[in-house]
Amino acid sequence: MLCCTMLFSLVVVGGVTRLTHSGLSIVEWQPLVGTLPPLNEQAWQEVFQRYRQTPEYRQVNFGMSLGEFKGIFWWEYAHRLLGRVIGLAYLLPFLYFFVRSKVDRPLAWKLAGIFVLGGLQGALGWYMVQSGLIDNPRVSQFRLTAHLGLALAIYAAMLWVALELLAPRQLPRHDPSRHGLWRFSLALTALIFMMALAGGLVAGIRAGLAYNTFPLMNGHWVPPGILTLKPWYSNFFNNLATVQFNHRLLAWLLAALVPWFWWRATRAALPPRARLWCHLLPAVLALQIGLGIITLLFAVPVALGAAHQAGALLLLTTALIVNHQLLATAGGEQTLAARTAPRNAG
C-alpha cells in the first residue's frame, strides 16, 4: 500500500512534468549515475548545454536562461528520482521477505512480475522522451499513452495484490445476482481504464486546449471536424476534435452506467463495507467529471490538470476496491462458519 501511494504520487508528478513542459529537459537516461543532480556551476552548464542542442530549445525555448532551465529540470529530475525510490522501496523488502521464506511461490511470482513491469516502465519512459528529442519537440502521443497505461496497470496490480493479502476473497457461487454485479463492476473498471487512456491521447496532442466549452463543443454536440483526416482511423489518434470527443463520450457513458450500477447495488444483499464503496463510486466519478469540465473550461492550467490526473487514479482505485469488495465477505463468512460448525457441534 505504501508503494501504491508512492506510485500515485509519481503519476501526479508525471502529470505536472508534462503540463510544465519539463519532460525533455534531461536528454540522457542514466539509471544509476543520473540519481545525482548537477552539484556545481560547471555541471549545470554542461547539462544546460546538452539541452540547448535539442529541438525543444531551438524551436520553443530559444533564449531560455539557466535559471529558467532549472525550473523545468527539477520537475523531470523529481519524476525520475521518485521512480527510482519506488523501485528500491519495492525491491528491498521483497528480497528480504523472499530470502527469509516469508513469501510463498505464487505470491513471489506476482511480486517479481510487478517489479519487472516497473523496470519496463522506466525504459518505456525513456523511449517516450526520445521521441521528443528528434525534429519535433513533442513526445509521441502513442508512447505517452502507453507510459500512462503501464503506470496504471502496475498500480492496479500492486493494489490488487495488497487487497488480497489484507482480505482474501472468493466470489460465492450460489449468488447469481452478486456474480452479475461483480461482472458489471469489472466492465466499469475497464471503461475507467479506457477513459484514462483516452485522456492520455488528449494530453499527447494537447486536445484540451481546443473546444474549451461544455457540454457542447464550440456549439456542436458532434464537432464538424471530427472525421476530416485520411485515412479515417488516424482521426482517433491525431484529430483534436475526435480525440477530445472520444474522451467526453467515455465520460458520458460512465455517467450513465455508474448510477445504474449504484442502483443495482442498493438492491443487492451486500456487506456494509461493500455497500459503502458502491456508494462512493458515483461520488468519485462526479468529482472526476467535475474536475475534467473545470480543467477544460480554464484551458488546462497546471494545478487543475494535475488534479484531474489524480482524480483518474482515485476513480480507478475506487473501482478496484469495489471489485474486490464484491468478491464478497459473505463467502468468507460461510467459510468461517463451515470451519467452526463441527467444533461447536462437538
Which domain covers residue 144, as residue numbers?
A: 1-166
Residues 279 and 162 grouped into a single domain: no
Same domain assignment for residues 119 and 238: no
| 137 and 90 fall within a common domain | yes
Q: Specify whether 129 is located in the same domain as 175.
A: no
Query: Of 137, 166, 195, at which residue does a domain stop?
Result: 166
Question: How much is the pLDDT for 337?
Answer: 38
Both 141 and 224 in one domain: the answer is no
Same structural domain, 15 and 93:
yes
129 in the same domain as 185 = no
If asked whether residues 233 and 336 sit together in one domain, one would say yes
Question: Of 110, 132, 166, at which residue does a domain stop?
Answer: 166
Of the candidates 141, 166, 191, which is a domain's last residue?
Answer: 166
Provide the residue-wise pLDDT of the chain in tens; the chain has 346 residues.
Answer: 999 999 999 999 999 999 999 999 999 888 766 688 899 999 999 999 999 999 999 999 999 999 999 999 999 999 999 999 999 999 999 999 999 999 999 999 999 999 999 999 999 999 999 999 988 888 999 999 999 999 999 999 999 999 999 887 665 556 677 788 999 999 999 999 999 999 999 999 999 999 999 999 999 999 999 999 999 999 999 999 999 999 999 999 999 999 999 999 999 888 899 999 999 999 999 999 999 999 999 999 999 999 999 999 999 999 999 999 988 554 443 333 333 344 344 3
User: What pLDDT was estimated at residue 106?
Assistant: 93
Do 255 and 299 fall within a single domain? yes
Q: Is the domain of 136 the same as that of 77?
A: yes
d(CA 177, CA 14): 40
161 and 27 fall within a common domain: yes
Total domain count for the chain?
2
Separation CA 62–CA 52 (nearest Å): 8
